[in-house]
Structure 1
Amino acid sequence: MTAPLDPHAGADLRHVRKSLPHDSAGKHVTGTAVYIDDILEPIGTLHVVPGWAREAVRGRIRSMDFDPVRAAPGVVAVLTAEDIPGHNDCSPSIGGDPVLADGEILFHGQVVFAVIAETRAAARKAARLARIEVEPQTPIVSVEDAIAADITVLPDYQFRRGSPETGMATAERCLSGVFHIGGQEHFYLEGQAALAVPGEDGAMLVHSSTQHPSEVQHILGKVLAVPDAAVTVEVRRMGGGFGGKESQANQWAALAALAARATKRPCKIRLDRDDDMIMTGKRHDFRVEWSVGHNETGRIRVVDMDLFARCGYSADLSLGVVDRTMFHADSSYFYPDAAIRSRRLRTDTCSNTAFRGFGGPQGMLAAERMIDAIAISLGLDPLEVRKRNFYDEARNLTPYGMPVEEWRTLHAIVAQLEKDSTYWDRREAVRGYNARNHVLKKGLALTPVKFGISFTLKHLNQAGALVHLYTDGSVQLNHGGTEMGQGLYQKVAQVVADELGVTLDKVHITATNTSKVPNTGPTAASSGTDLNAMAALNAARTIKDRLIAFAAERYQCDPKQIAFHDNRVRVGSREVPLAEVARAAHLARIHLSDAGFYASPKITWDRDSASGRPFLYFAYGAACAEVTVDTMTGEMVVDRVDILHDVGKSLNPAIDIGQIEGGFVQGMGWLTTEELVWDEHGRLRTHAPSTYKIPTASDVPEDFRVALYDSPGNPEETIYRSKAVGEPPVMLANAVFCAITDALASLRPGRLPPLDAPATPEAIMRAVHAMKAQEAPA
């Protein structure tokens, strides 16, 4: 059920649409926010550390000797696959993810055993004493290796519209290329962690740093061979997730729970940063083979694209991730004819997983690469080519058949940013700068964002919430969403406070807990607020409706004369404290609690037939980036960034702007500095801050201008007409990559720089040398 909302409502809102602080902001800056490792440990808590075959890469296990481990000081027990009472699998989907390796090492870093000790230090030292012999096999590491071996984790899939073959044959011009897009490490500040406390009759309470408590509950039920109802999973907050704790948290919670079951004592696991990076999945990296047919003005006639994804050793979430890459391979552009194909390749590396944007950034970047290629080959400004290919009134159907109903918003945002950023004046300035400078080259790009909001698995588009009104007028709020710093708890609390007419200090936010709200979906796909705030609103509204009916009878007045505000209830011409009304209602046996529910409407996607509507709506945005590239060293500086982003009617502008800033910088890191490197043996070489470069404060553009688009509101009936903001800002960073491409293109006008992502200094220098080695086009 959807709560009816007037799109113009909100003039008298006290909390919604206000820039209120994050509910944990004070705790964050003072260091008092409690994460898994900060929870007071119960007496007798043991510590769990995963063990692995450090010298082995891929192969059959010949022998395992754990006697030196068991004999080490402080060690209580060692767990192997034989100690798992239920299913040895922690997969979120189709299986193939053992909690502990069983007979075979599938990738370098796979967990073979777990050490349980009195202290974490003792467990870490003991884990290195294991003797594991493996019969080595030659690993499949790269996308190219997997293509040659023709090995996948899932069947191939495609979208097809029109006749791409005819379109390519009849197009005035054709271009093609190969583009590599790198992966990305989540690098959450709080690593993977869990604390398991055993209870009576096989019950288990697990504090987990997870985005998907219900999935952890379900996995633990299978692994421990107990009913789901015997497992309670709780999470108050995470120190970052970014998708890395949607499915990847399962294994570590399972190891903590298995240890607690085996020892009958509380057990905690917290991964070392190196182990975390080696053992857990990343953003999928891709090889993109593309062809595009277009006319002399740059308007696209046909697109043919093959997306080859490195998925790792198992499917994990690769079905949905790569599907979303395909959904966003159009970016903001209309393709009259299209063939978009995908292959989910199996490699002997960690299983890649969800990452902010869930495959969308890779698809959109591939589309922007094609636009740049068209513009450069024709000698046109890329912004003009982008605008000529935008969805519009006559050309508004995606390659998967969903209409782009809100195309005017896309046009309006780009037009406003084009003006506000003085794009054309700066374009002339960039040309002049590059003509005067032979070593330093400037680049400029303005790129759009169109990102679909909803889970493409229909059943995930639902949420529950539990709201209690107590007789003192205070409110307790619980829902299925998890807090990882994005401000979800704060936004939902604002909604409930306004609906019940209480001040925000009266709303007590409680930890997400599977015993309070069951069968929840993950906090992912940018849908946390859309789903959970609406469920909480429905619960609060039900309680309020009961109170209105009660008050109307008690005070003998028209229900329309009853209003809630500032912890009071206006009843006709008098005002009564809400606590007084709540106490009276309780004495009259009126229920002051409700379990609200919400399911997103209109989602009709059928994957088998590749038809329907996978998204409720699109979020839009645009970014203009200016960079300076040193062609002698490959160093690059982002000089200025202008962003205009669409969040509908913002529930909390301050939090939304923070999400936009953070998402952009994270995307910029993915495209410029964050390079994952595996050697030919399948060992991850970039597994620590010393070898893997995330953006820091000094990488944030000195001139960084972020504004919210003055939206009339989401045309869909979302919570107070807001729009999701978690993932779309990541793709604003495409402007930086395209600006680097623009700078390098000035070296050889008419030639597309052979630049892959990320555009590290090394990648930039490779492209510079390749450009300088080319002959000028005829």
Structure 2
Amino acid sequence: MNAREDEFTSATGGGPAGTADAGERNLAPATRSPHAPASPQPAMGRSRPHESARAQVAGAATYVDDIPEVKGTLHAAPILSTVAHGRLRGVDTRASEAMPGVRGVLLARDIPGDPILATFVHDEPIFAIEEVRHVGQVIGLVVADTVMEARRAARQVKLDIEPLPAVLDVRQAHGAQSYVLPPVVVRRGEPEQALASAKHRLSGQLEVGGQEHFYLEGQVAYALPLEQNQWWIHSSTQHPGEVQHWVAHALGLENNAITVECRRMGGGFGGKETQAGHMAVWAALAARKLRCPVKLRLDRDDDFMVTGKRHPFAYDWDAGFDDHGRLTALKVTMLANCGFSADLSGPVADRAIFHTDNAYYLSDVEIASYRCRTNTQSHTAFRGFGGPQGVILIEAILGDIARHLGRDPLDVRKANLYGVGERDITHYQMKVEDNILDPLISQLERDCGYRRRRLEIAAWNAKSPVIKRGLAITPVKFGISFTATFFNQAGALVHVFTDGSVQVNHGGTEMGQGLHTKVMQVVADELGVPFERVRCTPTETGKVPNASATAASSGTDLNGRAAQFAARNVRDNLAAFVSGLDGCGAGAVVFRAGQVISPKSTRSFDEVVKAAYANRIQLWSDGFYRTPKIHYDKVTLTGRPFFYFAYGAACSEVAIDTLTGESRLLKVDILHDVGASLNPAIDIGQIEGGFIQGVGWLTTEQLVWNDKGALSTHAPSTYKIPATGDVPEHFRIALWHEGNREDNVGGSKAVGEPPFMLAISAWEALRDAVAQARGDGQAPLVAPATAENVLHALMST
């Protein structure tokens, strides 16, 4: 180890574990074995294992590709465009069809229904028809006896494509007014006048890259023909109802002919909200043409090339502020790189507008959002759904303002926080009623020793010529609800069987986030039975129809409450039955710890269920929930789009090597608001995972398209997601002590997406280190902060 390497190791806390703060994490306590006697304590509020954890560890949890294949199943592989933009003049499949095992080829002419996908904007062809619009666009399928035979044959299809000019840069698209949707402008006050009269004024640009979902289980679907032109689709999807609709639309059938099932996904992160539907449509079309079951599973390279990513954004901004760094005016132009079609770009860009304020009051503001069309993959939902692209901008602006004024960035952030009275209304006219920002941030500031550490880092940087450290605290205020108001509804079924066991089915999907576990906890407590008596069955359109996507962090909020209502209906039926037996009011009957207790008797739950069945009492019910209070005008983007806000704050400390650009995340302290946690172990896991995934977006995960429009970073060899070595030893997580002030299930708050944006603290800490290394108060760092980009920021003028 040379001297500089030794200095970096010392600066970054490398060396043996077991030092004072190595490995200190506020993890949930160990949970009881499911083979132990059932606990009489409530199920909610306790750390319990994920309902599939043991099966997953043992390799016994079934994913779509694990389902035993029906005899005669064939396999499909996509034929991909090799040109970013061009006229499709011909497809020669003769060589492909002559290869061993090939059973057929599908092109646009083989679609019996609408050749355009059933998206809201209706702008994306199922297969390319006369034009290709990105490298990797699917032109058709080859179907063969085996996966490898199909993939080899697909690569032998000869394409005749006449190249056309391609738009590959978002600023180029904006200049050409190439948009997938019309621009949207949200405005409050008079920002031009406020800018002109501001005590201080600063402007700038920012570039933030996209992100590959990199789910462990890739995109996959398995289509099985049933009798009488009905279809069963196994899909790794966050939105079975949409898959059902898309498949029916493509086959020219009604929705009732299609049943979609999803037991679990090996990760989704938004990548399977809409784009899982493509796989299902393609597999179903192949199955229809060849009249046999067809499975389509993309390999990792094709998955990268075919599917969309997190939207890259470019920004121009102009800010006015006072001597304390408090914003008095702000004008922002947002350029969202949407790819070749709209997909979910409209609502993603809308949410970026909604979250441009993050935790801060904006008095006179204008945000202009342009949804730009480029010749790349059609970008789609990703954890945070545009929120991170809004939050990072305002955090970057406040960081620049603080350096411009020579003030501590945390002080500038605290000066801009939402307050009360005139400073509690967002720029989209929603009142912030549950504001805990100041006490939460102040508690984290004290707990992590922020002020002391800033002095220590300044002293370190003064004597360290190569390794520089940085520190930042950033908050998050994240709105919880679908911005498309009609998605904020859910249904569920609860069945109580005659032996007292319970089965629940709901419209949400399980992608590893613990949704089924939490719903089972809610149902167990509503019926007063041990958690172990409840099972969750696969999500299926034939049970709960028209379900919304499992997205927007609202899976438990919606489906948990719907399941709670369904269980309550069964419980009320049983209570009425017992009240008739004992001559008491139904309200006096209590369900607890597997017992049904009235003022006159105590019976086991199982005993009551058997007696109720014998007396023809309904032991199953449905439940339905619609989120209250929400409304907004989708034209002006004003109103109350969110039921409540989830809050949090993170303190990150980093080090950079000024000679190589290498960086390391040293310490992370998080205080996050999940309300009254339904399952602390799962919630802490979501905070950990969301934060580290956010760190990947902002530090290592760089998507690179070459000048021909081909994605160069399309495999783990060229695209780096965070690994265990990127997780700091000092990684402390604490949960805010207060329950949800809104009437949400169990007093909880959503946890899936908000922690992702806490990772912006790591990026701001890197900018702090860059500025201290430069010595001029400038931090021209783009995201992701790869070693190359850090070096560029250090050397740029």
TM bin, normalised by shorter chain, reads: over 0.9
| Cα separation, 1, equivalents of 2:51 and 2:235 | 20
Aligned twin of 1:15: 43
Name the CA distance, whole Å, in 2 between partners of 1:610 and 1:479.
31
| Cα deviation code 1:38-89 (max 9, x no counterpart) | 11111111111111233x2310111111111111111111111000100122
**Rounded Cα–Cα distance in structure 2 between residues aligned with 1:376 and 1:517:** 54
Distance 1:88 1:326 in 2: 33
Greater CA deviation, 423-432 or 261-270?
261-270
Identity of aligned residues (%): 52
Following the alignment from structure 2 to structure 1, what is the Cα–Cα distance between the partners of residues 56 and 318?
48
- Provide the secondary structure at the position in 2 that maps to 1:551: helix
- The question of whether the paired residues in 2 share the 8 Å contact of 1:473 and 1:579 is answered with yes
Aligned residue identity for 1:754 = P
State whether residues 61 and 103 of structure 1, in contact with CA within 8 Å, keep that contact through their aligned partners in structure 2: yes
Deviations 1:431-453 (A, max 9, x none): 00000011110000000000000
| Counterpart-to-counterpart distance in 2, 1:470 and 1:184 | 46
- Name the amino acid aligned to 1:34: T
Pair 1:134 & 2:134 matched? no
Cα distance in 1 between the residues matched to 2:548 and 2:538: 16
From 780, 786, 794, the counterpart of 1:754:
780
Q: How far does residue 200 in structure 1 lie from its aligned partner after superposition? A: 1.0
Which portions of structure 1, spanning 4 or more consecutive aligned residues, are displaced by more than 3 angstroms? none
Which one-letter code corresponds to 1:250 in the other structure? G
- The equivalent position to 1:144 in structure 2, one of 152, 157, 171, is 171
| Distance in 2, Cα, partners of 1:645 & 1:384 | 20
For residues 234-288 of structure 1, the C-alpha deviation after alignment (integer angstroms, 9 at most, x for no partner) is: 0000000000000000110011111111122111111010000010000000111
**Structure 2 equivalent of residue 360 of structure 1:** 387
2:55 maps to 27
Q: In structure 2, the residue corresponding to 1:155 is in which secondary structure?
A: strand
**For 1:560-571, what aligned pairs fall within 5 Å after superposition?**
560-571=587-598
1:5 is aligned to none
Correspondence for 1:575: 602
- Asked whether the 8 Å contact 1:328–1:363 carries over to 2, the reply is yes
Pairing 1:396-545 to 2, within 5 Å after superposition: 396-407=424-435, 409-545=436-572
Question: With structure 2 as the length reference, what TM-score do the two structures score?
Answer: 0.94
The Cα of 1:575 is off from its aligned counterpart by 2.2
Verify the 8 A CA contact 2:41 2:593 in the aligned structure 1: no
Amino acid at match of 1:246: E
1:731 aligns with 2:757: yes
**Distance apart, 1:753 and its partner CA:** 1.3
AA in 2 matched with 1:456: T
Counterpart AA for 2:289: A
Q: Deviation of residue 696 (structure 1)? A: 0.4
Matched, 1:37 2:65: yes
Matched, 1:632 2:659: yes
Aligned alpha-carbon RMSD (Å): 1.2
1:716 counterpart residue number: 742
Letter in 1 for 2:359: S
Secondary structure of the 1:92 match is coil
Aligned partners of 1:115 and 1:123 also within 8 Å: yes
Counterpart of 1:276 in structure 2 is 303
Counterpart of 2:61, as a letter, is A
Is the 1:442–1:743 Cα contact (8 Å) retained in structure 2?
Answer: yes
Q: Is the 8 A contact 1:471 1:580 kept in 2?
A: no
Choose the corresponding residue for 2:730, options 703, 726, 729: 703
- SS of alignment partner, residue 153 of structure 1: strand
Q: Which residue of 2 aligns with 1:67?
A: 94
CA distance in structure 1 between the aligned counterparts of 2:98 and 2:513, rounded to whole angstroms: 45
Q: Structure 1 residue 92 and structure 2 residue 92: aligned? A: no
Secondary structure of 1:747's aligned partner? helix
- Which residue matches 1:613? 640
Unpaired segments of 5 or more residues in structure 1?
Answer: 1-10
Shift of 1:577: 2.3
CA-to-partner distance for each residue in 1:623-672, whole Å, 9 max, x for gaps? Answer: 00000110100000111000000000000000000000000000000000
Amino acid at match of 2:69: E
- Does the Cα contact within 8 Å between 1:304 and 1:339 map onto a contact in 2? yes
| TM-superposed deviation, 1:129 | 1.1
| Corresponding residue of 1:185 | 212
1:76-106 per-residue CA deviation (whole Å, 9 max, x = no partner) reads 1111100010012235321112111111111
Match for 2:714: what amino acid? H
AA partner of residue 54 (structure 2): G
Q: Which residue of structure 2 aligns with residue 6 of structure 1?
A: none
Contact 2:74 2:143 in 1 (8 A): yes
Which residue matches 1:8? none
CA distance in 2, matches of 1:560, 1:133: 74
Residue 158 of structure 1 deviates from its aligned partner by 1.2
**Other structure's SS at 2:139 match:** strand
CA contact (8 A) 1:160 1:339 kept: yes
Q: Return the letter of the residue paired with 1:734.
A: I
Pairing of 1:70-219 with structure 2 (within 5 A): 70-219=97-246
Deviations 1:707-755 (A, max 9, x none): 11111x1111000110000000000000000000001111344532111
Q: Judge conservation of contact 2:582–2:600 (CA < 8 Å) in 1.
A: no
Partners of 1:629 and 1:636 within 8 A in 2: yes
Is the 8 Å Cα contact of residues 476 and 758 (structure 2) preserved in structure 1? yes
Displacement of 1:33: 1.1
Is the partner of 1:746 in helix, strand or coil?
Answer: helix
Is the 1:334–1:398 contact (alpha carbons within 8 Å) kept by the matching residues of 2? yes
Distance 2:586 2:177 in 1: 68
- Which amino acid is 1:313 matched to? F
How far apart, CA to CA, are the structure 2 residues paired with 1:383 and 1:158? 30
* Cα distance, 1:681 vs structure 2: 1.2
- What letter is aligned with 1:526? S
The aligned residue for residue 34 of structure 2 is: none
Indicate the residue corresponding to 2:709 in structure 1.
Answer: 682
Contact 1:91 1:247 in 2 (8 A): no
Deviations 1:748-771 (A, max 9, x none): 44532111000000000000111x
Instruction: Return the alpha-carbon distance in structure 1 between the equivalents of residues 635 and 151 of structure 2.
Output: 47
Which residue number in structure 2 is paired with residue 598 of structure 1? Answer: 625
Structure 2, unmatched stretches of 5+, are 1-38
Q: Cα 1:436–1:91, aligned 2, differ >3 Å: closer, same or farther?
A: farther
Aligned residues: 758
Deviation at 1:567, TM superposition (A): 2.6
Aligned to 1:307, what secondary structure does the other structure show? strand
Q: Establish whether residue 252 from structure 1 lines up as the match of residue 253 from structure 2.
A: no
Q: C-alpha deviations, 1:327-374, integer Å up to 9, x for none?
A: 000111111100011000000100000000000001000000100111
Which amino acid is the alignment partner of residue 513 of structure 2?
A: Q
Secondary structure of residue in 1 paired with 2:181? coil
> Does the aligned pair in 1 maintain the 2:87–2:163 contact within 8 Å?
yes
Check conservation: 1:48, 1:117, Cα contact below 8 A: yes
1:351 to 365, 378, 398: 378
Letter of the 2:787 partner, please give it.
P
Give the aligned residue type for 1:299: R
Partner-residue secondary structure (3-state), 1:206:
strand
Q: Aligned partners of 1:64, 1:457: CA distance in 2, in Å?
A: 40
Deviations 1:96-132 (A, max 9, x none): 1211111111111001110111111111111111111
Instruction: Give the conservation status (yes or no) of the 8 Å contact 1:282–1:355.
Output: yes
Aligned residue in 1 for 2:670:
643
